Amino acid sequence: MAFKIRMGQPEMESLWNDLSTRKQLGLLDKEEEKFFKKLVKALGFLSANPRHNSLASHEISDLSRKYGMKIFQSYLENNTPGAGRIFWAYGPDQGHITILAIEPHPEDKKQGAYERIKLAGMPETERKR
């Protein structure tokens, strides 16, 4: 089963719209182009299988407690300084995954490393009422 990827409101949706529009127009700089390529690849893996080995997805209990829902972290990249991480949750509808933040890897060896992570809001449900 492929998951539908949604963007958290409003921050992640704005980021995605900006990047994808500028990509289509050929306006991304070299670093943005590299980031966009990594993001699209990671989102493809996430959509196909959130447990894909290269994502190393796992729940972040500190964030799950803070936000009252299971929050997961997956690799955007690895083995680079400040390697990017994607924070996401299942929902709002069945078969959906919502991207809530993209951040450099927090120093998780330090207590409270995830306190600075601010997540976007969940989008509205698509269910017909």
- The fraction of the chain above a pLDDT of 90, given in percent, is 78
pTM attached to this predicted model: 0.90
Token readout for 49 is 């299988």
Q: Is 21 exposed, middle or buried (0-12, 13-18, 19+ CB in 10 A)?
A: exposed
Token readout for 83 is 């390697």
Q: What is the bridge-based pairing of β-strands 4-7 and 96-104?
A: parallel
Cα distances from 11 to residues 72, 102, 107, 122, 128, in angstroms, run: 18, 10, 23, 11, 25
pLDDT digits (tens, 9 = 90+) for 92-101: 999 999 999 9
Spell out a b/e string for 47-63, using b for 16 or more CB atoms within 10 Å of the CB, else e: eeeeebeebebeebebb
Domain boundaries, the chain: 4-104
- Prior bond to 81 cis, omega within 30? no
Q: What is the mean pLDDT of residues 33-58?
A: 95
Maximal C-alpha separation, the chain: 46
In this structure, which topology does domain 4-104 adopt according to CATH?
A: YaeB-like fold (3.30.2310)
What is the rounded distance in angstroms from the CA atom of residue 22 to the CA atom of residue 17?
8
Q: What angle do CA 74, 105, 80 make, to 5 degrees?
A: 95
- The pLDDT-based confidence of 78 (bands split at 50, 70, 90) is confident
